[in-house]
Chains A and B, each alone.
Chain A
Amino acid sequence: MIVLVVAYLASTFGIAHGSFGVQDVVLVAAVFAILAVSLDLAAGMTGLYSLGHAGLFALGAYATTLLNTKLDWNLFLLLPVTIVGVGLVGFVLGFLSLRVSGLYFAITTFIFTLVVVVLLSDLTFTGGLQGLAGPVFPDFPDALSFLGSSVAWCVSLSLLVTIVLVWSIRSSPLYPVLLAIRDAEPFAGAAGVRTSVMKVAIFGLSAALAGLAGWAFSFLGFISPGQFGWTISVNILVMVILGGINTRLGPILGAAFVSAFPVVVSIDPFQQELILGCIFVLVIVFFPEGFMGISGNIVRHIRRQSADAVVATPTDETSVEPIAYAPLAPASANATVESADIALEARGIVFGYTKGVRALNDVDMVVKRGNIHGLIGPNGSGKSTLVNLISGQIAPNLGTISANGHRIEQLSAPARAKHGLMRTFQTAVLVKELSARDNVTIGLYSRFPQIAVRSALWPLLPGARRDSRTMRERAVDALSSVGLASNWATTRVADLPHGVEQLTQLAAACVANPSILILDEPLAGLSSGEVEQVSEILRGLKRDGVTVIVVEHQTHFIFEMCDEVTVLAAGELVKSGTAAEVRSDDRVREVYLGL
């Protein structure tokens, strides 16, 4: 780590003494590296494909230049001003455009760049199409003049700050959370992450870094609207993709390649443009994973070959064998039944997806603490709607829901997770490129303080390393508590069999020690051995005093496992009572069991 920083500073020292020609190329590349790294934070990690980075970059550069040359503000005062100012613009832009969707976000940010460029071209005080001469960065005082060009140091340190910040986030427990926001938003929300706030915050941070890039860029000479057009936004995105999206080094390599390209291939500008356009298309068509993806594949290939050579049995065989379950952890004796007898109570719930049609009509459901409560009914009876209402994916039109004595029907899904309410989804949607263990740590997000804020400097903070380790250990414990042997913990979810993926999801819900756990069709697609495994897990949870609500179609399983059962049909409550009562009820037999 320290070696890297020293090497980085040494190369900066070299460049600061280099010729103007070299400095020019390297410094522009470094500024674009800041932009590419900041865009990778938004696009690669969080899935926010911003085309607004050129516009934000322009705001940073123009703000610095104008405030310095016209109003005489100090350049070092302008550093925080620019970062905060552009960050705020990004915040507002994100807030307005993330209301709808990812595509809408890309379009809105694209238009943002167009607007910024038009304004810069048409306003008089921005110098129109000609642009402005940037401010002069002060030279080092004599005592430090051995360091060489001060601008080189300024740009280089800006890039270093950006890299440290983004790499910290990558190494922090926030990283799996961001990937979950990108790939599995409901899962992240159910784990207590306020996904929309997080997206706006990440884009704001990314915008602030683009502002920093603009600040640094203004010292490199003239700035004009032509340097910040929409093609630049696409350029930055191409840098990220070309180098390797969502990798540490990829965006930096991409920025170096694309910036150095016109210098190395010095031909007339039209041909340059033409070739650059061709590169855009070729990269996205043939190398969507970029340099890092290609080299990663090669490395993996070589490793696999050598592994094959050494170990005669290929690793693939394990997937053919039955899943290796670890023995379940013995019941812990902390089954403290709290005084309040009722864990969750939903009263008079009315909900319709469209006006007039009621998916749920005046439904009550009372779940006793420590019980396993089944929720059954024919397809379309409103089971999933009811659990979505309870877990906060949607809000009821009428009625009250309380969990552990708190009214929760007005709260968002993440806020309910903090009240000890966790859930799983019918089909597990996890982050495919992360290991099972890292996916499970997402469930711990709400259990550790200030992860989001601390992530910016994670490796440098006291206690952070310990927290990381604790989270990993708890995740592995949770995986073994659902019966997954430790070798699954480090396997990527993409390579997991379906049953193990479902159990991983269950582990992610259990890891945060929920007091109420909702399982939406936990048996979907599981083999009979795996069903037995889930039954075992449910008994274990019951022993631990967790209240469990199970939505399931396998009535055999429901009546065997559940203490009480609620039956819905066509949005109405049919019967609620103990398993035996419900099973012998005539109406239940008529509407559901078909006996």
Chain B
Amino acid sequence: MLQVLLSGLAIGAIYGLVAMGFAVVFYVTRVINFATGQLLMVAIMITAGLAQVGLPDWLAIVIGLLASSVGGVLIYFIAVRPVLRFDRFSFAWLVSTLGVAIVLQSGAAIIWGPTSRSFPSLLNRQTLKVGPASITWQEFAAIVVAVLAVVGFEIFRRSTLFGKVGMAISSDPEMASAIGAWVTFYAVAAFAIGGLLAGIAGVLVGPITYANPYLGDTYGITGFVALMIGGIERPAAAMGGGLVLGVLSVGANTFIGSQASDWFPFVVVVVVLLVAPHGLFASGDALKRLVANLGNRHALAKGARP
């Protein structure tokens, strides 16, 4: 039981980091970056590739994380910013970010081939005994990083001016820009942080999964499912969703059968969407409010004349 909990939290931390990658971007820009999973894959592939040609692990990881952050920013400029100005098709970013996801995935398959390659094992060799259960140091690191990410983000959001301006932008970008906030800068920062979080998740999970161009699809979808379970409105809720999903999946694998983790996340998310459409950890009717806002903004953009 303890083993299930620990392993579940470890894998859940990975899902949660990806979900946070989605949520941070959504928090500031109201866009779901469907290529978040592919950014995780980019970090893994680049780290693996560089480590293979003989770079020290730490340098390979830094460059890999840098690549996923820069990738996030590029997505913003190429696929998101140009489409936000249409009001006719309000979900244009949905198609463009999914398009980027396909480009990144097939591009990686062309460059590195569709098969798996090795990834530096990092802390995956040593195990840590916790009572009757044991996890690897790598898994332990995942949990620690996840906690740091949530706590760090919340402190940052609530206590720094930078974070408060981010909150202002998320609730009303026009107003925020009227009081002098540089909205583009925050959007870029959000995409960079989103990419970074996905990249970190990639480096943490790489030693277990090895490097494969299709990891993005797997973890992107699971991360998205975690996001919907936790709640899209707050990055901390997204992490909560990831942890819940991780524990439940490992539980299902242990108690139902080894195939269960393939379909179990979807059962969970369907149940959650039916029972609590806004996610388990959403405060109030967050998504509803938000979408009402979107609608208003949409109406404004459509030129409800003053």
Contacts and interface: CB of A to CB of B under 8 A. Distances in A.
Interface string B79-102: 100110010111110111011111
Given A234-B98, A285-B83, A273 B106 contact: yes
The interface size bin for chain B is 35 or more
Given A107-B228, A241-B89, A285-B79, A271 B305 contact: no
Contacts of A119: 263
A107 B94 CA distance: 10
A101 B233 CA distance: 14
B151 interface: no
A96 B86 CA distance: 28
A378 B276 CA distance: 39
A210 to B, nearest CB: 18
Interface string B99-118: 11111011101100010000
A420 interface: no
A411 interface: no
A96 B275 CA distance: 11
A280 B86 contact: no
Contacts of B287: 100-101, 103-104
A525 B305 CA distance: 9
B96 A49 contact: no
A108 B278 CA distance: 11
Which of A100, A103, A108, A276 lies at the interface centre, i.e. has the most chain B CB atoms within 10 A of its CB? A103
Contacts of B221: 114
Interface string B251-272: 0000000010011001001100
B18 to A, nearest CB: 15
Contact of A281 (B90, B91, B99): B99
A99 B277 contact: yes
Contacts of B91: 49, 102-103, 106
B175 interface: no
A237 B221 CA distance: 19
Given A101-B295, A429-B304, A288 B86 contact: yes
Contacts of A525: 305-306
Contacts of B100: 277, 281
Contact of B262 (A108, A118, A429): A118
A576 to B, nearest CB: 32
Contacts of A111: 225, 228, 266, 269-270, 273
A427 B305 contact: yes
Interface string B30-48: 0010000000000000000
Contacts of B122: none
Contacts of B294: 101, 103
A274 interface: yes
A274 B104 CA distance: 8
A274 B110 contact: yes
Contacts of B99: 234, 238, 277-281, 284
A498 interface: yes
A270 B106 contact: yes
A397 interface: no
A557 to B, nearest CB: 20
A129 to B, nearest CB: 11
A281 B259 contact: no
Interface string A68-111: 00000000000000000000000000001101111110111001
Nearest to A107: B228
Which of A102, A237, A270 lies at the interface centre, i.e. has the most chain B CB atoms within 10 A of its CB? A270
Interface residues of A, number: 48
Interface string B209-243: 00000000000010001001000000000000000
Contacts of A473: none
B95 A238 contact: yes
A245 interface: yes
A96 B299 CA distance: 25
Contact of A280 (B82, B88, B96, B266): B96
B288 A100 contact: yes
Contacts of B291: 100-104
A288 B93 CA distance: 11
B274 interface: yes
Interface in A251-307: 270-274, 276-281, 284-285, 288-289
A73 B230 CA distance: 43
B55 interface: no
A139 interface: no
B164 interface: no
Which of A104, A230, A273, A284 lies at the interface centre, i.e. has the most chain B CB atoms within 10 A of its CB? A284
B305 A231 contact: no
Interface in A451-493: none
Nearest to B107: A274
A85 B86 CA distance: 36
B75 to A, nearest CB: 10
A122 interface: yes
Contacts of A114: 221, 225, 266
B302 interface: yes
A284 B95 contact: yes
B267 to A, nearest CB: 8
A118 B106 contact: no
B109 A118 contact: no
B174 to A, nearest CB: 17
B78 interface: yes
Given A102-B291, A288-B89, A281 B79 contact: yes
Contact of A100 (B82, B88, B277): B277
Given A103-B291, A274-B103, A277-B99, A288 B228 contact: no
B161 to A, nearest CB: 30
B102 A122 contact: no
A51 B34 CA distance: 13
B110 A271 contact: yes
B269 A284 contact: no
A3 to B, nearest CB: 33
A108 B273 CA distance: 8
B93 to A, nearest CB: 8
Nearest to A501: B305
A122 B259 contact: yes
Interface in A435-453: none
Contacts of B88: 288-289
Contacts of A583: none
Interface string A39-69: 0000000000101000000000000000000
Interface in A107-144: 107-108, 111, 114-115, 118-119, 121-122
B276 to A, nearest CB: 11
Contact of B83 (A51, A104, A284, A427): A284
Contacts of A49: 91, 94
A96 B83 contact: no
A96 B263 CA distance: 21
Given A122-B263, A285-B79, A101 B288 contact: yes
Which of A118, A122, A427 lies at the interface centre, i.e. has the most chain B CB atoms within 10 A of its CB? A118
Given A114-B221, A234-B95, A280-B102, 16 more contacts: A100-B277, A101-B291, A103-B294, A104-B277, A122-B263, A270-B109, A271-B106, A271-B110, A272-B106, A273-B105, A274-B102, A280-B98, A281-B96, A288-B92, A427-B305, A525-B306
20 contacts: A49-B94, A101-B287, A101-B292, A106-B91, A111-B225, A111-B269, A114-B225, A115-B270, A273-B102, A273-B105, A277-B100, A277-B105, A277-B106, A281-B96, A284-B96, A285-B82, A285-B96, A289-B88, A429-B302, A498-B305
Interface of B: 32, 78-79, 82-83, 86, 88-92, 94-96, 98-103, 105-107, 109-110, 114, 221, 225, 228, 259, 262-263, 266, 269-270, 273-274, 277-278, 287-288, 291-292, 294-295, 299, 302, 304-306
Closest 8 A/B residue pairs (Cβ): A280-B99, A277-B102, A273-B106, A277-B103, A101-B291, A281-B99, A274-B106, A115-B266
